[in-house]
């Protein structure tokens, strides 16, 4: 899926190999390969990489639910429970909205392995803010 293709270059998404599978207002799905670049020193998927994946799908879903010409979204809080170690293969993150309000959104994210077993569960709260215009800080 080509969502953010020009914006994604040389960002954390490309560094981690995150690829979108589905993007709707009701659900965002993305995959990330589990390999050395996302490992912690003991050869397991780094919890920070899981959190980055979770915030990516939650933020994308929130952005799809706002007026993109006038608004943007930024993360306020994220939590994650790491349930199972993973050394290789692919993980898939699925984000669904818990609350879509005018100024805040809350998204639940479930990250699973190829067999559908939970690797991480996360909840992300996002703020809906005015979009920055060219030339603004």
Residues known to be catalytic: 55
Give the pair of three-digit tokens for residue 116: 């559908």
Strand ranges, E, within the chain: 19-23, 28-34, 71-82, 89-100, 104-112, 118-130
CA 52-56-58 angle, 5° bins: 115
């Amino acid at each position: 899926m080509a969502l953010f293709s020009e914006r994604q270059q040389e960002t954390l998404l490309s560094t981690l190999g995150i690829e979108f599978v589905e993007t709707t207002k009701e659900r965002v799905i993305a995959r990330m390969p589990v390999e050395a670049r996302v490992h912690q020193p003991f050869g397991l998927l780094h919890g920070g990489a899981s959190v980055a994946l979770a915030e990516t799908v939650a933020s994308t879903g929130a952005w799809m639910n706002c007026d993109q010409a006038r608004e943007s979204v930024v993360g306020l809080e994220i939590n994650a429970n790491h349930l199972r170690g993973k050394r290789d293969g692919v993980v898939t993150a699925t984000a669904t909205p818990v609350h879509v309000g005018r100024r805040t959104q809350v998204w639940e994210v479930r990250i699973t392995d190829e067999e559908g077993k939970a690797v991480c569960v996360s909840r992300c709260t996002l703020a809906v803010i005015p979009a920055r215009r060219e030339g603004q800080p």
